[in-house]
């Protein structure tokens, strides 16, 4: 002890005086406090966003109440007797999002599975930039595409396009289904007849599928699309926009499933498809659910595409699943009406837009919490 | 299930995955192809003499004697057309009132479209609007103008079941039997002589101001505005994001407070962009009064808030990827905590951080919804640096929307719209390409 103390005394410059040490400690603490302060700014920003949106939304509910806003489909904000029923607009947002999810989730998950389990490493290095480019293209460019390229195409030759799409999507799916069903049916037959039964079933089912497809495509080809700016158009484009989110999040989830599970499944004699469907996908279930939620969030919050190409008609399509009718969404209403409402600050016309923004905000917050909870649970499960 | 079926199912499964990937690639291709092809036509096109005349009169560009000679030649080719029109005028003035009344409306319409194609009639006073002072500057639009001179569109409402049916009738029929009937074949056959098309590379599209609501000129104010917005956003977001990332990775201990911070960060990342726009309007402009009305500053602040989570997350990842040994080596050399971060960790994480920043910059440049209420105007002059504090600016993203939907003649400025889209998408993709290359370099360095 004594010796070491002597050595320290021999190099006094290394030893700080008590005051200096305290100063340094204080500086470090203050520095850390500063860092903490800056870091909490993002938390403060969230609070501020909630506060300021809610502050301008509350006057609307105070003026007009809740009932009309959430239950009436009549949206006439600039009439002499203004009506602020936003049900049709909520329905529009929902419909567009549903369509986008139908495009993005299956394709996204299939692409993610392919990226993580099928493609070799080199091919993955090529595909990943494609996904990143899709994510990087600004939403207004997507909107421009939907409005200037896709909408006229749908309007001019929508029936033909839809019929072709029905064949392209339907034929492989129907063929596969017929094959599986024929095989399953033949499984129960006695051994010598199996081959013949399988063939017969295949022919019958395939014929039925082809007839069905033919009828469907005939019906679609006769379809007249009165306006190219409709739910179908927007759903397709939004689906493509949401794809990168779904692909990258679910690919991460699939990658997180360990090698051991896959190898165990292969060792039991499963094919790659069986391994993926029965082992890997169930294990990555929660991550994929989170991917779908994030994709849906992206579609709900998107403004430019729906503003430019959804037709902006505040109506509930009849029947509700009619994808060829124009709709109007929350985001497009906010973006479009603010220009007119801006100069009447203080009226219900202005505050109703904030009420809509509040609904969007709450929805995205809930979605976020849900996805976080799901991911958290999966992490804990993987850990334990 | 038989083994063969399982095999086939396995193949189709892989096939479905590959199909999904192919669909992704096809989507990208279908999306980009029209933008690139038609976008380039904003710069490289068949320019008419009117284009060269505009450049000469507005910017003194081009060889004056040569262009003036060309203008004279074009005028000589147009002169018979205008003469026929003037002669018909005189004939009508001398003739009966009923004939005059019959031809008044068709003649007025014809004159309007001829002026649309060729520019103002010689000898008449100069029209006030710039777009009326010149004929069509592009050959594709001149073809459209020719079509409008030759044919007239009419809506037929005779069948109420079908609603309005569009019909196109030759205009020559209206003037059958008059000397003016000769005008139509003359214009049709001599279009090239009147317009003198020539392959033109108009590089000024990227560096010229726009004139008369984008009928003429380029998109420099939009490019500059986007540049200001993106740079301003980075200046605000990067320091904050970097500090937050350093705190989160190097200082903070796992605690409930940290979990809340992370949740807030994720929430901020998920807030719809239009809500950011409303918040920017309600807070930065109406409450904090950073500027009297829309301004680049308010827009940058809004955008900075929007990309903050991305910057934080990317920087966090980059800092976490720095090997532990770097920190331990610095600490063992006697460096303090801050010194370690500053001199050992940050330089090692810099390329990764830069990647994140570059990608966020692309996002800030491309975003439209947050700047609608906070920074964007449709028409404006390029701003000087000090004006960005208080003045709004045109921006690429906003003007794509505006020109494609709200412009008074959407079809006549299609080439400008495509040019804007190509410029924006090209800019963003170039930034992303830079990020990808940067990341490849990091990966290579880490492997060595």
For residue B92, give its domain range. 47-201
Share of chain B residues as helix, strand and coil, in percent rounded to the nearest 5: 70, 5, 20
Q: Are residues A100 and A244 in the same domain?
A: yes
B210 within some domain: no
Choose, out of A33, A35, A45, A302, the residue to mutate when testing the contact with B (most B CBs < 10 Å): A45
Q: Are residues B140 and B245 in the same domain?
A: no
Q: Are residues A163 and A305 in the same domain?
A: yes
The answer to whether residue A373 scores a pLDDT higher than 60 is yes
If one counts the domains in chain B, the total is 2
**The domain boundary residue, chosen from A17, A38, A64:** A64
CATH number at residue B345: 1.10.3720.10
If one counts the domains in chain A, the total is 2
Neighboring chain B residues of A353 at a CB cutoff of 8 Å: 278
The answer to whether residue A344 scores a pLDDT higher than 70 is no
Share of chain A above pLDDT 70, in %: 92
The tens digit of pLDDT for each residue in A257-283 reads: 888 999 999 999 998 888 998 999 998
Neighboring chain A residues of B425 at a CB cutoff of 8 Å: 137-138, 141
Q: Are residues A19 and A114 in the same domain?
A: no
Q: Which residues pair with B170 in a beta bridge?
A: B151
Nearest to B421 among A127, A132, A141 (CB): A141
Q: Which residues contact B214 (CB under 8 A, 6 or more apart)?
A: B399, B403, B407, B413, B416
For residue A12, give its domain range. 2-64
Q: Are residues B231 and B309 in the same domain?
A: yes
Among A29-33, A361-365, B113-117, B184-188, name the one with the lowest average pLDDT. Answer: A29-33
B7 lies within 8 A of chain A by CB: yes
Tokens of B186: 């003359």
**What's the mean pLDDT in A176-202?**
81
B101 within some domain: yes
Q: Do A38 and B240 touch (CB under 8 A)?
A: yes
The position carrying tokens 């990775």 is B249
Q: Are residues B73 and B197 in the same domain?
A: yes
Q: Are residues B298 and B437 in the same domain?
A: yes
Q: Are residues A42 and A86 in the same domain?
A: no
Q: Are residues A274 and A176 in the same domain?
A: yes
Question: Average pLDDT of chain A?
Answer: 86
Q: Are residues B54 and B92 in the same domain?
A: yes
B34 lies within 8 A of chain A by CB: yes
Q: How far apart are CA B416 and CA B400, in angstroms?
A: 9
Q: How confident is the model at residue A72 (pLDDT cuts 50, 70, 90)?
A: confident
pLDDT confidence of residue A384: 40
Q: Is B19 exposed, middle or buried (0-12, 13-18, 19+ CB in 10 A)?
A: middle
ipTM score of the complex? 0.92
Nearest to A149 among B18, B34, B283 (CB): B34
Nearest to A138 among B12, B309, B428 (CB): B428
Q: Are residues B270 and B132 in the same domain?
A: no
Q: Are residues B157 and B234 in the same domain?
A: no
Q: How far apart are CA A277 and CA B17, in angstroms?
A: 13
Which of B404, B430, B70, B399 is CA-nearest to residue B209? B399
Q: Which residues contact B417 (CB under 8 A, 6 or more apart)?
A: A144, A148, B400, B403, B404, B410
Q: Are residues A251 and A367 in the same domain?
A: yes
Q: Are residues A81 and A59 in the same domain?
A: no
Q: Are residues A7 and A100 in the same domain?
A: no
Which of B251, B233, B276, B257 is CA-nearest to residue B363? B233
Give me the tens of pLDDT residue by residue for chain B, a chain 448 residues long.
677 778 888 888 888 888 889 889 999 999 999 999 999 999 999 999 999 999 999 888 889 999 999 999 999 999 999 999 988 888 888 888 888 888 888 888 999 999 999 989 888 888 888 888 999 999 999 999 999 999 988 777 777 766 677 788 888 888 888 888 888 999 999 999 999 999 999 999 999 999 888 899 899 999 999 999 999 999 999 999 999 999 988 888 878 888 888 889 989 999 999 999 999 999 999 888 888 888 999 999 999 999 999 999 999 999 998 888 988 999 899 888 888 888 889 988 888 899 889 989 999 999 999 999 999 888 888 888 888 888 999 999 999 999 999 888 888 999 999 999 999 999 999 999 888 888 888 778 766 6
Q: What number of helices (H) and strands (E) belong to chain B?
A: 18, 6
B8 within some domain: no
Q: Which residues pair with B151 in a beta bridge?
A: B170
Neighbours of A101 (CB within 10 A): 22
CATH number at residue A178: 1.10.3720.10
**The domain boundary residue, chosen from A48, A64, A80:** A64
Q: Are residues B182 and B266 in the same domain?
A: no
Q: Are residues A44 and A93 in the same domain?
A: no
Nearest to B24 among A39, A111, A180 (CB): A111
Q: Do A140 and B424 touch (CB under 8 A)?
A: yes
B266 within some domain: yes
pLDDT confidence of residue A13: 57
Q: Is A167 exposed, middle or buried (0-12, 13-18, 19+ CB in 10 A)?
A: middle
Q: Are residues B236 and B190 in the same domain?
A: no
Q: How far is B81 from chain A (nearest CA, A)?
A: 36
The answer to whether residue A352 scores a pLDDT higher than 80 is yes
Q: Do A179 and B5 touch (CB under 8 A)?
A: yes
B368 lies within 8 A of chain A by CB: yes
Q: Are residues B282 and B417 in the same domain?
A: yes
Q: Do A138 and B425 touch (CB under 8 A)?
A: yes
Nearest to B271 among A49, A119, A144 (CB): A49
Is it true that the peptide bond before A195 is cis, omega within 30 degrees of 0? no
Q: Are residues B100 and B135 in the same domain?
A: yes
- Asked whether A249 and A131 are in contact (CB, 8 A), the reply is no
Q: How far apart are CA B315 and CA B192, in angstroms?
A: 59
Q: How far is B18 from chain A (nearest CA, A)?
A: 6
Q: How far apart are CA B428 and CA B414, in angstroms?
A: 21
B409 within some domain: yes
B93 within some domain: yes
Q: Are residues A243 and A122 in the same domain?
A: yes
- Asked whether B323 and B200 are in contact (CB, 8 A), the reply is no
Choose, out of B267, B286, B402, B429, the residue to mutate when testing the contact with A (most A CBs < 10 Å): B267
**The domain boundary residue, chosen from A25, A40, A64:** A64
**The domain boundary residue, chosen from B201, B232, B250:** B201
- Asked whether B356 and B318 are in contact (CB, 8 A), the reply is yes
Nearest residue in chain A measured CA to CA from B308: A42
Q: Are residues A120 and A45 in the same domain?
A: no
Q: Are residues B257 and B325 in the same domain?
A: yes
**The domain boundary residue, chosen from B169, B201, B233:** B201
A183 lies within 8 A of chain B by CB: yes
| Touching B: A residues 25-64, CB under 8 Å | 28, 31-32, 35-36, 38-43, 45-46, 48-49, 52-53, 55-56
Neighboring chain A residues of B272 at a CB cutoff of 8 Å: 300-303, 331, 360-361, 364
Q: How far apart are CA B206 and CA B52, in angstroms?
A: 17
Q: How far apart are CA A91 and CA A77, in angstroms?
A: 18
pLDDT confidence of residue A1: 41
B333 within some domain: yes
| Touching A: B residues 375-404, CB under 8 Å | 397-398, 400-401, 404
Nearest residue in chain A measured CA to CA from B423: A141
Q: Are residues A159 and A35 in the same domain?
A: no
pLDDT confidence of residue A348: 82
Q: How far apart are CA A244 and CA B174, in angstroms?
A: 57
B11 within some domain: no
């Amino acid at each position: 002890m004594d010796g070491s103390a002597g050595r320290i005394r021999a190099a006094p410059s290394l030893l700080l005086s008590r005051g200096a040490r305290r100063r340094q400690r204080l500086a470090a603490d203050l520095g850390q406090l500063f860092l903490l302060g800056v870091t909490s700014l993002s938390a403060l920003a969230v609070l501020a966003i909630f506060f300021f949106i809610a502050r301008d939304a509350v006057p609307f509910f105070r003026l007009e109440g809740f009932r009309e806003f959430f239950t009436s489909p009549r949206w006439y904000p600039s009439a002499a007797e203004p009506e602020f029923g936003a049900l049709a607009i909520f329905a529009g947002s929902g419909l567009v999002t549903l369509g986008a999810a139908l495009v993005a989730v299956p394709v996204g998950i299939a692409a993610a599975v392919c990226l993580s389990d099928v493609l070799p490493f080199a091919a993955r290095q090529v595909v990943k930039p494609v996904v990143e480019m899709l994510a990087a293209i600004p939403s207004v460019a997507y909107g421009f595409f939907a409005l200037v390229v896709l909408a006229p195409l749908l309007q001019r030759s929508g029936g033909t396009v839809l019929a072709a799409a029905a064949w392209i999507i339907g034929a492989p799916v129907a063929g596969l289904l017929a094959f599986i069903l024929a095989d399953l049916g033949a499984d129960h037959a006695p051994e010598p007849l199996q081959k013949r039964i399988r063939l017969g079933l295949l022919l019958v089912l395939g014929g039925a599928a082809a007839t069905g497809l033919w009828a469907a495509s005939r019906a679609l080809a006769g379809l007249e699309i009165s306006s190219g700016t409709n739910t179908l158009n927007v759903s397709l484009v939004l689906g493509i926009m949401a794809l990168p989110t779904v692909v990258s999040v679910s690919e991460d989830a699939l990658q997180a499933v360990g090698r051991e599970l896959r190898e165990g499944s292969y060792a039991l004699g499963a094919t790659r498809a069986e391994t993926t469907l029965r082992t890997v996908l169930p294990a990555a279930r929660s991550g994929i659910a989170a991917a779908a939620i994030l994709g849906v969030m992206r579609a709900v919050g998107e403004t430019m595409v729906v503003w430019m190409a959804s037709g902006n008609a505040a109506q509930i399509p009849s029947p509700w699943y009619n994808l060829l009718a124009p709709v109007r969404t929350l985001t497009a209403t906010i973006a479009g009406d603010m220009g007119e409402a801006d100069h009447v600050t203080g009226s219900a016309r202005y505050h109703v837009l904030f009420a809509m923004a509040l609904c969007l905000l709450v929805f995205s917050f809930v979605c976020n919490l849900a996805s976080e909870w799901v991911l958290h649970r999966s992490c804990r499960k993987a850990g334990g | 299930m038989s083994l063969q079926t399982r095999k086939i199912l396995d193949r189709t499964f892989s096939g479905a995955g590959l199909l999904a990937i192919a669909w992704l690639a096809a989507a990208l291709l279908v999306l980009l192809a029209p933008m690139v092809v038609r976008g380039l036509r904003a710069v490289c096109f068949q320019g008419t003499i009117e284009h060269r005349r505009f450049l000469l009169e507005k910017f003194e560009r081009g060889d004056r004697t040569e262009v003036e000679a060309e203008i004279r030649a074009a005028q000589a080719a147009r002169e018979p057309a205008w003469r026929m029109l003037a002669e018909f005028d005189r004939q009508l003035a001398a003739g009966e009132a009923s004939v005059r009344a019959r031809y008044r409306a068709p003649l007025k319409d014809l004159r309007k479209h001829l002026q649309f194609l060729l520019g103002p009639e010689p000898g008449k006073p100069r029209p006030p609007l710039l777009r009326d002072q010149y004929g069509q500057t592009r050959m594709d639009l001149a073809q459209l103008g020719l079509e409008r001179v030759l044919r007239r569109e009419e809506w037929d409402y005779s069948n109420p079941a079908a609603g309005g049916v569009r019909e196109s009738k030759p205009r020559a029929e209206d003037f059958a039997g008059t000397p003016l009937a000769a005008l139509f074949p003359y214009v049709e056959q001599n279009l090239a002589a009147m317009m003198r098309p020539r392959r033109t590379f108009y590089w000024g599209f990227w560096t010229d101001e726009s004139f008369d609501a984008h009928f003429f000129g380029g998109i420099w104010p939009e490019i500059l505005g986007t540049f200001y917005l993106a740079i301003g956003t980075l200046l605000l977001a990067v320091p904050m994001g970097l500090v937050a990332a350093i705190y989160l990775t190097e200082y903070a201990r796992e605690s409930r407070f940290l979990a809340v911070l992370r949740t807030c960060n994720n929430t901020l990342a998920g807030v719809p962009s239009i809500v950011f726009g409303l918040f920017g309007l309600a807070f930065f402009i109406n409450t904090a009064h950073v500027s009297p009305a829309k301004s680049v500053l308010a827009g940058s602040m809004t955008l900075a808030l929007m990309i903050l989570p991305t910057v934080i997350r990317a920087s966090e990842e980059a800092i976490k990827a720095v090997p532990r040994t770097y920190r331990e080596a610095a600490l063992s050399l006697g460096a303090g905590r801050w010194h370690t971060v500053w001199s050992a960790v940050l330089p090692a994480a810099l390329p990764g951080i830069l990647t994140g920043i570059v990608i966020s910059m692309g996002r800030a440049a491309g975003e439209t919804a947050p700047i609608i209420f906070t920074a964007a105007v449709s028409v404006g002059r390029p701003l000087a640096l000090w004006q960005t504090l208080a003045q709004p600016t045109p921006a690429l993203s906003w003007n794509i929307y505006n020109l494609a939907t709200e412009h008074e003649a959407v079809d006549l400025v299609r080439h400008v719209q495509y040019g804007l889209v190509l410029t924006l998408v090209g800019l963003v993709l170039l930034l992303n390409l830079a990020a990808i290359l940067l990341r490849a370099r990091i990966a290579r360095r880490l492997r060595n």
